[in-house]
Amino acid sequence: MAELGERYAINATLEPLVLVGTEIPVLVVDLSVHRRRTVKRHTIYSNPLLKQLVEPIGCSRCGSGVLISVFTDDDDAPLCAKCAG
């Protein structure tokens, strides 16, 4: 089986043909989350291309993007509903 891998091995190189840079105005919203004795600032951004008010905030445990977060009491870290469960 190893012989087949060596016999039919393929090497490929990808190179970008065109790079495009754009500037898009966005709305930046600074949030201040107060939980018990801690206060933490979070920044969220609007996305005019998707026509959404905010882009997802990453869950501090699993990394998935969520629009509605649950914040922990200990360090105000954003969590998705599954991790906060």
Task: Tell me, yes or no, whether 17 lies in a domain.
Answer: no
Q: Is the pTM of this model over 0.75?
A: no
Task: Tell me, yes or no, whether 11 lies in a domain.
Answer: no
Please give the Cα distance from 75 to 81 (Å, whole number): 17
- Classify strands 78-79 and 38-45 as parallel, antiparallel or unpaired: unpaired
Domain interval for residue 42: 22-84
Number of domains in the chain: 1
Please give the Cα distance from 25 to 16 (Å, whole number): 26
Write out pLDDT tens, residues 31-58.
887 777 778 787 878 878 777 766 677 8
Write out pLDDT tens, residues 59-76.
888 888 777 777 777 667
Task: Tell me, yes or no, whether 50 lies in a domain.
Answer: yes
| DSSP-assigned letter for residue 27 | -
